[in-house]
Amino acid sequence: MSVPGEGLAKGLAVTLKTMTRRSHTQQYPDVAPELPPRSRGVIALLEENCTVCMLCARECPDWCIYIDSHKEEVAVPGAARPRQRNVLDRFDIDFSLCMYCGICIEVCPFDALYWSPEFEYAEYDIRDLLHDKEHLGEWMATVPPPPAHDQNGEPAKEEAAARKAGTPGAAGDRPAGPAARTGRPARPTPARPTSAPPVTTERPGSAPPAVDPPATGSPADEEPP
């Protein structure tokens, strides 16, 4: 059987307990908040790495990335004909439409897009949230450096494959043989028999073939034919 006013007493107890605790107030904007290292603030562009592959614009679910480019012919010394390359003319991101999913950064094959923890880019006019490539390039100064590699972690696949391949002929890179893996001494390799002289078979009772004696004298004593 419940006591009248029990629920009210429990609610007031929670209120009194909260009143006695110390409040945690962030002094923003006087004190900048400590954000996690992988915070998603704004997208930065490294224009030198962009090859205008259009993967980021195609995979964007909000269609907020706009890219324009043109092709130029570059003369290559020693080549039969000049080569063509894409030149970036426009790279805009409309942050009023962006949902900060990060798909554009994940699909970029040349590391041209990065996350920056900066988030103070509010505007009074929504049209100012369209950042061009120059504005996106300015955010690169705020991109934090990548974390250091773990010395005890597994190496990358490329590095592991290079170590496995090694240098042919190096003693340190050769895999251990079966004797080294099992700890038992290896069996001695039997010596190969040397080539024996050809054996001639003779019939019983037959005389050995006659051998002509060597000629005596010098070649000068012989009469010409």
Residue 70: CATH number of its domain: 3.30.70.3270
Q: Is residue 173 part of a domain?
A: no
What's the pLDDT at 184? 53
Domain count, the chain: 1
Q: Is residue 50 part of a domain?
A: yes
What's the pLDDT at 180? 47
- CA atoms of 84 and 44, how far apart (whole Å): 27
Q: Is residue 36 part of a domain?
A: yes
What's the pLDDT at 174? 47
Q: Is residue 185 part of a domain?
A: no
What's the pLDDT at 172? 43
Q: Is residue 162 part of a domain?
A: no
Q: Is residue 136 part of a domain?
A: yes
Q: What is the pLDDT along the chain (225 residues), one digit of tens a residue?
A: 678 888 899 989 999 888 888 878 888 888 888 888 789 999 999 999 999 999 999 999 999 999 999 999 888 888 888 888 899 999 999 999 999 999 999 999 999 999 999 999 999 999 999 999 999 999 999 999 888 877 888 887 888 888 888 755 444 444 444 444 445 555 555 556 555 555 555 555 555 555 555 555 555 555 554
Question: Cβ distance 46 to 105 under 8 Å?
Answer: no
Q: Is residue 12 part of a domain?
A: no
- The domain of 61 spans 27-142
